[in-house]
Amino acid sequence: MKKFLFAATFALFASTQAFAIIGVGAHYLMNTGSLKASSGDVRDLGLITVNQEKSDGLQGLGFKLWIDLLPFVDIEGTFNIAASRYRTSLSFPNVPGGLNPVYLEYTPDAPYSMLFGKASPIYGVATGDVSVTYPFDILPIIRPYVGAGFSYFMSTPVVDKAFVDKVIDPSKYQSGIPQGGGDIGPTVMKALKDADYETGMGGHIIAGVRIKAPIIPIAIYTNGKYYFGGNTDSKFSQGFVLEVGGGFAL
């Protein structure tokens, strides 16, 4: 009888400990969305042509805090940062040899960039999520859930025709543009360095699963998310977001 009571007590303790009341973790994330390509003449004057190339997929890191409110709903907060490189070039139809593209280079001292040497611009998105999820308690150590939530977006500006329109006054170059564009490229990239983040609000749906062994204060998790709304202004088409990580859980 004592063995039975001990076994029953341990099983009850283990099953309750399998659900973390609170946890904090870090994860790798992949966003299958894409930055759309665009091209056009600055101020539609035909002096400077901007060609911003497409970029597929963003990768990054994120952090998550979750609280389980059995038997009703769970709440989790997530902060994600993901980025990808793209290329933007300028050409000058009225300059001899000016149809050869001049690619803009992103200097190491620019914000939201850790570079050595020079590289193409970065498109980065930071997202803060608050999600309310409904759990399905199928097995003691496995906790699948679905839900939805609110999202706040911040993203870097894109060096496209609209951006260069704001930075360059083509009338300054009516009399001629130096070979290679002169100071146009550095002027554009300095403006990118000084530009503010673009912000917006939207939402998301989420489906995921957390796995936690009894007693051990470690959990692993994976989430799939799809965002809507935000601040992308049709430049970035949202895709499926996958988060895979783990952390400390009590």
* pLDDT digits 0-9 by tens, 105-149: 776 555 545 445 567 888 888 999 999 999 887 777 888 999 999
**pLDDT confidence of residue 117:** 53
Q: Pick one of 3.40.50.970, 3.30.559.10, 3.40.50.720, 2.40.160.20 as the CATH number of 2-249.
A: 2.40.160.20
Q: Taking residues 98-110, report their average pLDDT.
A: 73
The residue with greater pLDDT, 225 or 93, is 225
Distance CA 77, CA 73 (A): 14
Token pair for residue 86? Answer: 């793209």
H-assigned helices in 58-183: 161-167
Mean pLDDT value across residues 7-34: 68
Q: What is the DSSP string of 76-103?
A: EEEEEEEEEE--EEEE-TTSTTTTS-EE
The torsion defined by the Cα of 181, 183, 46 and 194, in degrees rounded to 10, comes to: 130
Q: What is this structure's pTM? A: 0.80
Taking the domains of the chain in order of start, what are their residue ranges?
Answer: 2-249
Please state, as a whole number, how many other Cβ atoms lie within 10 Å of the Cβ of residue 179. 12
Alpha-helical (H) ranges within the chain are 2-17, 161-167, 184-194
- pLDDT by residue (tens digit) across 146-199? 999 999 999 888 999 999 988 887 777 766 666 656 678 888 888 888 888 888
Question: According to the per-residue pLDDT averaged within each range, which of 84-93, 143-152, 211-220 is highest?
Answer: 143-152
CA distances for 160 relative to 37, 51, 78, 104, 166, angstroms = 9, 7, 30, 11, 10
CB 55 within 8 A of CB 85: yes
* CA terminus-to-terminus distance, the chain: 31
Which 3 state secondary structure label does DSSP give 60? strand
Residue 36 burial by Cβ neighbours in a 10 Å radius (0-12, 13-18, 19+) = middle
For CA atoms 103, 109, 110, 113, give the dihedral sign.
positive
Q: What percent of the chain has pLDDT over 70?
A: 80
At residue 232, what are phi and psi to the nearest 5 degrees?
A: -75, -20
Task: Report how far residue 184's alpha carbon sits from residue 225's, in angstroms, rounded to the nearest whole number.
Answer: 40
Residues 124, 36, 78: CA angle, nearest 5 degrees = 35
User: What is the gyration radius of the CA atoms in the chain, in angstroms?
Assistant: 25
